[in-house]
Structure 1
Amino acid sequence: MTIDGIAAGGDGVGRVDGMAVFVPRTAPGDVAQVAYAVHARHGRGRMLQLLEASPQRVAPRCHHYDTDRCGGCQLQHLDTATQRRARQQIVQDTLRRVGRREIALPPITADLEWHYRGRLTLALRRKGSGWIGGLHPHDDAQRVFALETCEIAHPLLVETWHTVRSLITDRRLPLPDGDALRMSLRLEEETAATPDAPRHIVIVVQGGAVWPAREAWTARLHELAPQVRGVWWEREDGRREGQADNTVADPVAAESLPDASEALAFAQVNARVADALRAHVFAAVMQFDPRRVVDGYAGTGLLTEQLAREGRDVVAVEADTVGARHATERLQAAGADVARRARVVCDLMEQALPQLTAAAHTPDVVVLNPPRRGVDARVTAWLEDAVMREARGVVYVSCDPATLARDLSRLPSWDIVSVQCFDMFPQTAHVETVCVLQRSEGREGEAA
């Protein structure tokens, strides 16, 4: 089989009698012997032997990629240019097939290729009297292999994991009960005022109902790894407990540390590309010169604050109570004028819709930054409704081209102004996309 391209998800794609066959870890131009099984209208295969290597193929940098078939990366076997073009083409092809929107190959903003991740999330499985911690093979979601290194994670995260790994085998300091846990290590970038300033790590342990050794375990970790600022435990029932490190030079009270959902949900994985994305979104909103903006799925309110400082009236909608609370606190801390111009609605976007057009205050621009599942159909119906006829722009930030394309198919009254990709996750098939829409000429008020 000759591999023709890369599909969403990162698999190579070849054809047998016209049927697409998806083969992991193959490159465009590879000629390979493949075993495959037919599933409905396509096939799924595995490479048995590489007969002719593509010139776009490179040796993976991380030994886990081949040795353990690590599922954390999907494209380490491709050179940089091929990876980036693949992500651009995934967006272009998906918008055409699913969204029925023809666009040129979108530009892509990129930065670091390695050591860019500010968060490392691992699966922990009980093994005998100790634990094994690592990631899943791409073809076996039930198995966990022991992680030694991660070439896309910041080196301080890997260094901290080595210390944690030595601690989770200590029988005197057991982890929470149960046979399976999750652990997230988050780099606190905001603690680094200068490039040479010390950085800190926050650790979140998820799972289990009891953890008698939590305080002793945390204290020992602080001794071994002074870069760890806090350890947080989220029980299986959702309750959270935290402990700050009071030995760091600038101690932080426990109540001011992010709790578990904040640490897991709102930390951007790639800080430098995230900064570029935020700047692009802000500029995209401002190009419409709006008076009123709805910031949907607003997180902790970074964009809301920025727009309010520019004199725009903003309604931030965030369903997560932690995110909404942080957004409210951010606006209050920004001063009375900013707080007056912005308000936070803690609700699902689809549930908050009646509030967003009340009292004839229709927004000029709507920002959507939904999770991977995209927006609810009620949100796209709202944007098509006559009540929104005065709205001029939509800025949609997407982490999944398929749901972006689906949602665009539900917005026939809106034209694409621009599509920009952001290479937030090098070595993987994931891509962030910002799609800017404007009302189609002659279609204002015609939507049902």
Structure 2
Amino acid sequence: MKRRPPRKAARRDIPSRTSRLPESVQTLTIDRIAAGGDGVARADGMAVFVPRTAPGDVAQVAYVSYARHGRGRVLQILAPSAHRVEPPCVHYERDRCGGCQLQHLDADTQQQARRQIVQETLRRIGRREITLPPLDTGEAWGYRSRLTLTLRRSGSRWIGGLHAHDDPSRVFALETCLIAHPALVAVWGSIRSVLRSGAVSLPVVADERGGPASLRLGLRLEGEVGAGGAADASDPSVQVVLEGGRDWPQQEEWTDAIKRADARVRGVWWTPAPTVAATTATRSDQGAPVADYLPQAREALAFAQVNAGIASRLRQMVFDAVLQFSPTRVLDGYAGTGMLAERLAQAGVPVVAVEADPAGAESAVARLAQAGEAGGRSRVVCDLMERAVASLDVATDVVVLNPPRRGVHVDVTGWLEAPAQRHVRGVVYVSCDPATLARDLARLPSWRVERVHCFDMFPQTAHVETVCVLHRESA
């Protein structure tokens, strides 16, 4: 990618919410990248966070001061950093797309920033000093196996796209997405044509807050196809899921139109607004609502990692880390569909798998049923992790935690700290948010951080996946 030339004119910015407040203007030098992807500079000793800047940039910045920090916007890049590159995506600057935060940085600087974000966050919030963690890397483009868009009605037509990073209320029309698998982008192009034709109506949307009517459209590669990212030459099937709305008279017509428009579309699904049926999925090609998810819909709608290649390496590290403790029984918290539980049972280790989602728990039961003798001695608990540990009636010596972005409940860390759980020798924590990982580590003073390893699951963004291995401190 070509280096960006120095800017000679002020950058065109739509004023953000902060611009309504009194602003100061200074020439600032960007020192580093913070969690979230903003550059950080110092103005009179105060940290100022400036989106879309690079370490080493010298910029004229307008910023608003708060109690302990400032929020800024670039007026002009006076001297561009050597780490700056030209963003290849047309939407990154033109539409200020919020899907990526770091396309303007070269690959090495991005990867270094993600490692430093984890190290600094664990130090600042978790009070844990660690060396700069290693980072497993993979494809930088075309790696996403899922693409989720907002469909918003504008007059008589619908547009679909993402939100601007500096104006979450605005949705721009998406033409392409360079981090998504090409098959997803191609299917989206076919759906755009159907939307533009106006031949088929979408569900009735009633926005009770008076805002613009909107729906959510999800595109997902089927199975593990596409694990090689942009380098994968296969043409995988795609599942299409539309979420929201109350009534849909032309549901079947929509399904037929989408399937005719693109042969890659394997299934089309609709999940109505929760006020109609919070746990119901309706299959569009049949038109009739069904109780709970059909088996195919479970697969289409279930959570899955967006970067299959890196996710495979992460799962291998978690599996190896658990086995290094030579466990007699493992508690697999936030177990999902039971992939890890099944693999551990196949290796002869009984598992208690805890998963709150009924569809995921049902899948985990099926996996363990096929996992041999240790699978027969394993079980699945469909409940919240904090409730499950309170009633756990068997001893486990290794705990795996793979929580959502909000981290684990305080009752779970409290349970691990309790004297009654001294038999637990190891914890393997998989995190998608360094801040909540650090917070949870601060709640675990009896545990020593043995190893931290990062996985570059989301190139071009500030997000990073982390595996943290913890050992019980000696009494």
Q: TM-score, normalised by structure 2?
A: 0.88
In structure 2, distance between residues paired with 1:413 and 1:265: 35
- Note if 1:282 corresponds to 2:316: no
In structure 2, distance between residues paired with 1:311 and 1:386: 28
Identity of aligned residues (%): 61
| Alignment match, 1:104 | 131
SS in 2 for 1:396: strand
| Alignment match, 2:384 | 348
1:336 shift after superposition: 4.8
- Maintained 8 Å contact 1:22/1:45: yes
| Alignment match, 1:185 | 219
Q: Which amino acid aligns with 2:217?
A: M
- Note if 1:55 corresponds to 2:88: no
| Alignment match, 1:202 | 239
- Maintained 8 Å contact 1:229/1:244: no
- Note if 1:292 corresponds to 2:329: yes
- Note if 1:431 corresponds to 2:464: yes
SS in 2 for 1:142: strand
- Deviation by residue 1:418-437 (Cα, 9 ceiling, x = unmatched): 00000000000000000000
Cα RMSD for the two superposed structures: 1.7
- Deviation by residue 1:52-110 (Cα, 9 ceiling, x = unmatched): 00000000010100000000000000000000000000000000000000000000001
| Alignment match, 2:296 | 257
Q: CA 1:214/1:414 → structure 2, altered by over 3 Å: closer, same or farther? A: same
Q: Which amino acid aligns with 2:412?
A: V
Q: Which residue among 25, 29, 33 is the counterpart of 1:2?
A: 29
1:171 shift after superposition: 2.8
| Alignment match, 1:415 | 448
Unaligned runs of 5+ in 1: 246-253, 443-448
Q: CA 1:197/1:2 → structure 2, altered by over 3 Å: closer, same or farther? A: closer
- Maintained 8 Å contact 1:415/1:437: yes
- Note if 1:66 corresponds to 2:100: no
SS in 2 for 1:168: helix
SS in 2 for 1:416: strand
User: Matched residue pairs, number?
Assistant: 428
Q: CA 1:94/1:60 → structure 2, altered by over 3 Å: closer, same or farther? A: same
| Alignment match, 2:52 | 25
In structure 2, distance between residues paired with 1:427 and 1:341: 43
- Deviation by residue 1:210-252 (Cα, 9 ceiling, x = unmatched): 111111110121111111110111100233101469xxxxxxx
Q: Which amino acid aligns with 1:82?
A: T
- Maintained 8 Å contact 1:244/1:257: no
- Maintained 8 Å contact 2:346/2:371: no
| Alignment match, 1:371 | 404
Q: Which amino acid aligns with 2:334?
A: Y
| Alignment match, 2:159 | 132
Unaligned runs of 5+ in 2: 1-27, 206-212, 287-292
SS in 2 for 1:136: strand
- Maintained 8 Å contact 2:407/2:431: yes
- Note if 1:241 corresponds to 2:282: yes
- Note if 1:164 corresponds to 2:198: no
- Maintained 8 Å contact 2:114/2:462: yes
Q: CA 1:150/1:51 → structure 2, altered by over 3 Å: closer, same or farther? A: same
| Alignment match, 1:249 | none
In structure 2, distance between residues paired with 1:168 and 1:199: 23
Q: 1:363-402 alignment to 2 at 5 Å? A: 363-402=396-435
Q: CA 1:389/1:370 → structure 2, altered by over 3 Å: closer, same or farther? A: same
- The range that moved more, 8-17 or 167-176, is 167-176
Q: Which amino acid aligns with 2:457?
A: M
In structure 2, distance between residues paired with 1:336 and 1:242: 34
Q: TM-score, normalised by structure 1?
A: 0.93
- Deviation by residue 1:376-412 (Cα, 9 ceiling, x = unmatched): 0000000000111011100000000000000000000
SS in 2 for 1:202: strand
SS in 2 for 1:143: strand
1:130 shift after superposition: 1.3
Q: Which amino acid aligns with 1:31?
A: V
- Deviation by residue 1:1-52 (Cα, 9 ceiling, x = unmatched): 0000000000000001110000000000000000000122100000000000
- Deviation by residue 1:93-144 (Cα, 9 ceiling, x = unmatched): 0000000000000000010000000000001100121101000000011110
Moved over 4 A (4+): 191-198
In structure 2, distance between residues paired with 1:91 and 1:256: 38
